[in-house]
Structure 1
Amino acid sequence: MLKKGFLFGMALQFAVGPVCIFIFQTATLQGFLTAVTAVLGTAFVDGVFMLAAIYGVAAAMKFKRIKMGFNIFGAIVLCLFGMSFVSDALSANAYFFRLDNMVHSSTNSAFLPAILLVASNPLTIVFWAGVFSTRVLEEELRKREVYVFSLGALFSTLFFLTLVAYLGAWAGSFVTPVMMRGMSIIAGILFIGLGAKSLLKVREVGC
């Protein structure tokens, strides 16, 4: 079950998302060790989401208003991170609120920003609930085996994102400041686009 969970989790990792981009950029700009704190924050929230799915919290997500509320929260967080990246690249800090600076001012860590970013999509609980339900039905798993499967999936997150952090730190050794600014702008636009897309979905559902 541990191996199956790890392989399943690795298959999911190749769908590169905002967290992966955030960790890569953090490693490029601030180094490997800082990016590792983001990896740990990501794994922590993923673990909490998996436990919540196992214990049935996903049922609450089926209510329309709760789902919309979480979607709005996630969209706002993504947009804030996006504006943070773009404003940092353009040196326009006076005009935009830099979410990550609020944390880095007191701790030289990306742990809390990573937690916030991963938590911006709590509907992941629904996904894991579906995965676990399918596994239980198809393979007749006991609850202990579900825990082991989820642990394997969590290990895949730690392994893959640590590799991303390493690659980001390696890239940072030869990436020029201009290239870093370009990467920040691209990442910021991507985050803002994802946030806007989520808001549009909320609007469509609300209508």
Structure 2
Amino acid sequence: MLFKGFKFGMILQLAIGPVCLFIFKMGGNKGFLLAELGVAGAALIDALYIFLATAGITSFIEKERVKKVFKVIGAIIVGMFGLQTIFGGMGLGKLSNLKLMGSGNSFVEGLLLTASNPLTILFWTGLFSAKLVDEKLTRKEIYMFGLGSVLSTILFLSIIAFIGSVTRQFLPSEIISILNLVVGIILIYFAFRMIIKSNY
């Protein structure tokens, strides 16, 4: 089940999202080791969401009004990361140095960005419920599956962090700035999409 969870998690990672883009940017700007702190933060939130899903703590989030609030809050967080990245790419020093939520800590930023989509709990709940019923898995097997999924997050994002840090070594600063601008614009796009979806 550990290996099955790992394979499933790797498939999910192929759907590139804001966390992946942010880790890539962090690797390019801060280097591999600091980007790995962001990876640790993202993996910790993933593990928490998977635990909450297996524990069945979803009735609160399933309420429609609560869903909308979570989506809007998540969109604001992603949008702030996007703006911070764009300012950095444009070389607006004072604005880019305004750390998100006053942190500037790679681990905290990884936590916040991953936590911006708490509705992930509903996805895991649906998946685990189906496996409990269809495959008759035990609670221990479900936890092993979840652990495999978290390990896939760590591996995939670590690779992304490494790629980002390599670009830092070989690409000129002008290209890095352009990449930051592109990542920032994509993050803003994700934020707008989350806002739009919250209205449906």
TM-score range, shorter chain: over 0.9
Change in 2 beyond 3 A, CA 1:188/1:59: same
TM-score of the superposed pair, with normalisation by structure 1: 0.91
Distance 1:95 1:155 in 2: 35
8 Å contact kept, 2:80–2:100: no
Distance 1:21 1:66 in 2: 27
Q: 1:186 aligns with which of 167, 172, 182?
A: 182
Is 2:129 aligned against 1:133?
yes
2:78 corresponds to:
78
For structure 1, which runs of at least 5 residues remain unmatched after alignment? none
Deviations 1:125-155 (A, max 9, x none): 0011011111111210111111111011111
Distance 1:67 1:101 in 2: 22
Residue identity in the other structure for 1:67: K
CA RMSD of aligned residues (A): 1.6
Change in 2 beyond 3 A, CA 1:185/1:165: same
TM-score of the superposed pair, with normalisation by structure 2: 0.94
Distance 1:42 1:94 in 2: 27
- What secondary structure sits across from 1:58 in the alignment? coil
Q: What percentage of residue pairs aligned between the two structures are identical?
A: 34
Deviations 1:94-137 (A, max 9, x none): 55783348323xxxx41000100000000000011011111111
- What secondary structure sits across from 1:45 in the alignment? helix
Distance 2:107 2:94 in 1: 25
2:19 corresponds to:
19
2:151 corresponds to:
155
Deviations 1:149-205 (A, max 9, x none): 101111111111111111111121111111111111111111111111111222x33
Residue identity in the other structure for 2:112: L
1:89 corresponds to:
89
Residue identity in the other structure for 1:62: E
Q: 1:175 aligns with which of 168, 171, 175?
A: 171
Distance 1:197 1:38 in 2: 24
1:42 corresponds to:
42
8 Å contact kept, 2:13–2:156: yes
Is 2:104 aligned against 1:115?
no
Change in 2 beyond 3 A, CA 1:96/1:23: closer
8 Å contact kept, 1:81–1:98: no
Q: 1:166 aligns with which of 162, 172, 187?
A: 162
